[in-house]
Structure 1
C-alpha cells in the first residue's frame, strides 16, 4: 500500500536595506504536528551591486541547510528513543 504525505515549509524573508542583510526563517510542519525551524543569513559586500534576489536566494539556501541539519538531529533523537540506543546518521 502506498501513502502520499504532504509537509509544508513556510519561508519568511526579512531584508534590512540599511544593513544590506537578509534573514530567512523557515518553518517545517508535519501532519503529526512536528515543527522544525531553520535560519539563514546573507550579508551584501559593500563593493557588490545591490541585487535583493541574490540575498534572498543565499539566505534561504542557508536556512534550508540549517533546517536539514536540525531535522537530521531530530531524527537521531527519535531513533534513539525508539531503539534505546545512540543513533548517528551519516551527513
Structure 2
C-alpha cells in the first residue's frame, strides 16, 4: 500500500545591510536535526533588491542541507550494513 510522508523544512533568514544569512533545517523521522547554511553578499555597485539576496542565501543553504543529509544517509547505511557507504552526488 502506498504511503505518503511529509517533511517540513524551516527557513530562517537574517539580513544585515548588504549581507544575507539563511539557515534551513529539517528533522528526520529518526529525530535527527539537519541544518544547512547559506550566505549572500550584495555587490555595493548593484541595486538593493533584498529578495535576490534571500533567494541566493536560501538556495545555498538548501544545497548545503542536501549535502549534509546525504552524509547522514551514508552514515545510516554504514550503520545498517556494517560497510562504508558512498552515495553519488
How would you bin the TM-score normalised by the shorter chain? over 0.9
Where does the alignment leave 5 or more consecutive residues of structure 1 unmatched?
none
Say if 2:23 is the partner of 1:21.
no
Where does the alignment leave 5 or more consecutive residues of structure 2 unmatched?
none
**4+ residue segments displaced more than 6 Å:** none
- Which residue of 45, 67, 70 corresponds with 2:68? 70
Check whether the contact 1:41–1:63 (CA below 8 A) recurs between aligned residues: yes
| TM-score of the aligned structures, taking structure 2 as reference length | 0.96
RMSD: 0.8
- Which residue of 37, 40, 44 corresponds with 1:39? 37
CA distance in 1, matches of 2:87, 2:79: 14
Match of 2:3 in 1: 3
| TM-score of the aligned structures, taking structure 1 as reference length | 0.94
